[in-house]
A and B are shown apart, each in its own frame.
Chain A
């Protein structure tokens, strides 16, 4: 091992390619799909699906090992997660709302990856490489259970006579819920992963994730939310009334044991995806910072790197601080995904990268709007949109506070009961 900071060539190539997608396909349409919430940029969706199929990536949140022969090609360390993070960062730099509707399994497939059996993976994940763009979503949050996921009320009961699970409950804030569940002609058949309890007296150990196929009877999209930002991405409320799901669609053991494996399945998903969420936020912040620097330059404001702090103007200090924040946050993401690639446990690093990104992407975009004055506040430019888009980074997949809790418990050696 060693300490190195050379961006691997395959990643550089991928970034160059995606940058042109971002510039030509995403940025020109950004404003339109921000203003027409819930309409779908089909050009982007279909292009990305074709492009990703061509390079063999299922387009989900699961890394692709692109070493030609994994067993003999041992000299090249795996960089699947690093590539994924870089890909997400670049797409989010283009438009994070678009990135969120990039076809693929998203968080739904990530849950299957983390908690499913080999048979389940084969059965549920193959669809993302087929002809039509296809989606999956993850349904954890409920009106009465957000950060406190153990409070979910959705119930799954086994019908012994038909060997089916019967699910009842209502899920909110499901990213991509509509595209994953509603049957669109242009889309393949997707699924949602629904978290429910098979034994409410068992607390977290009673929690299981169920794959619910699109079109399942008793399941309906109740509404799509109107949001501050990421408006190209649909956020659905989904109700389940006596929805019947095949027995084999439960991820993990179908019976309650005294451990918390089911819940740990969800947490394993988050360890893997938190740095990726951080990466998406960082893409937005980079867009904002680059825009800010460009506009300052146009207006003859030069940033004098290298001067002592007390000789800099306030704007120079702000921009330099933003540079530091952005780069350091990105390095934290890189370290977390590098650990994932190298099979090192990274729960601490994952949550730290999310804490850091949540903080700095909001700060950078908010500061950039301030510095740009009326230009920052105007919808003539995308800066105000990036400000709105960035904020979600500190909220979903564990709020900044919840990730601080995770970090604190790890460094202090505390359980959830010792530090609430």
Chain B
């Protein structure tokens, strides 16, 4: 069957996330971006809504099963409030979800109860590298097996909360395939940059460079243990997350511009009464809606183990990134000169909107 309506449980989560996004994340977004700081309490409140907890089975301290569809719905809601805030709330998932998806029993036992049972705590992951041709499937950071230990070398970029992280999943190239490795804090050879990353957007989210120089890890720190894991599944889950965040940011820009267009006067009418503006808005909502459905379908395919779920996630992510660019650009255009001023959020949405094309790896469903 086809069906396009969240179930009751999902709807409750959406409602709760939506409230948090509108009442907490959005009002804090502007100052957080300017001061480069997210209030701890704000993150804590989002964490308590329990998306990760609800995605973790009871055996590991949670109270539910992971669903990529549910994750996508929740991320869209939160990203509608504020992208940086949403990513901060979900940072521990970057560590926990891959373990849930691909970890050994021992890895699950060791980390999951700790993470989901407590307050928000900085567990994170490092995928992105600082190259124009960065490709998650062809990493420059390498892992080599020598005498039963893995030796990691390379440099990672844009790693959220790396400075305080208890442990980081570092993705590295092992004989031509990407594999995750659990790197605990204070590992010898691990250096976190003193300076935070400075990016076009996402300034409220603390991100760091992470350098690995002959970091030696016991074999059991490889995600999935000796047999390793299927990186495709993790990458697809990251792509779906990124795509749903793109939908949320685009919707934020659309809604703001729509409201503004209904209030702003020009030439004796509201600007929304001009087709040039109204048609832009019609196209924006059409594209948002079409990409939301792409994201939902990709998530559903992941949940149901469909053969083409990786391609579906790739297409959803590619399409949603383009869509977010188009929509957030128009969001600024509809506000005209006022859209260019940082008092209105649309310029920040535009800066955030551009990020989706290159920032896969900052969220996971």
- Please report A residues at the B interface, Cβ cutoff 8 Å: 1-8, 77, 79, 82, 305-311, 320-321, 323-325, 327-329, 331-332, 334-335, 338-339, 349, 352, 355-356, 401, 404-405, 407-408, 411-412, 414, 418-420
Contact = CB atoms under 8 A, between A and B. Distances in A.
B175 interface: no
A81 B275 CA distance: 32
B2 A6 contact: yes
B305 interface: no
Nearest to B284: A411
Interface stretch (B154-162, B191-199, B312-320): B312-320
B4 A308 contact: no
B273 interface: yes
Given A309-B357, A355-B286, A404-B279, A3 B6 contact: yes
B273 A305 contact: no
Contacts of B49: none
Interface of B: 1-7, 10, 69, 132-135, 137, 258, 261-262, 272-273, 275, 278-279, 281-283, 285-287, 289-291, 293-294, 296-297, 299-301, 304, 310-311, 314-315, 318-319, 322, 357
Contacts of B299: 3
Kindly name the residue among A3, A419, A420 whose own CB sees the greatest number of chain B CB atoms within 10 A: A3
A143 to B, nearest CB: 24
B76 to A, nearest CB: 12
Contacts of A325: 319
Contact of B278 (A309, A329, A356, A405): A405
A420 B314 CA distance: 40
B278 A4 contact: no
A2 B286 contact: no
Given A306-B137, A355-B282, A328 B293 contact: yes
Contacts of A323: 315
A419 B2 contact: no
A3 B318 contact: no
B357 A311 contact: no
Nearest to B301: A5
B302 to A, nearest CB: 11
Which 8 pairs between the two chains have the least Cβ-Cβ distance? A1-B5, A331-B293, A408-B278, A328-B290, A324-B319, A407-B282, A404-B282, A408-B282
Contacts of A420: 275
Contacts of A1: 3, 5-7
A411 B278 CA distance: 9
A2 B3 contact: yes
A411 B282 contact: yes
Contacts of A305: 311, 314-315
Given A308-B135, A328-B294, A411-B258, A2 B282 contact: no
Nearest to B7: A2
Nearest to B235: A306
Nearest to B259: A412
B294 A4 contact: no
21 contacts: A1-B7, A3-B3, A3-B6, A3-B69, A4-B2, A5-B300, A6-B2, A308-B133, A321-B319, A324-B315, A324-B318, A331-B294, A331-B297, A338-B2, A356-B287, A404-B279, A411-B282, A412-B261, A414-B278, A419-B272, A419-B278
Kindly name the residue among B3, B6, B278, B286 whose own CB sees the greatest number of chain A CB atoms within 10 A: B286
A338 B283 contact: no
Contacts of A339: 4
A306 B235 CA distance: 10
B198 to A, nearest CB: 22
Contacts of A329: 290
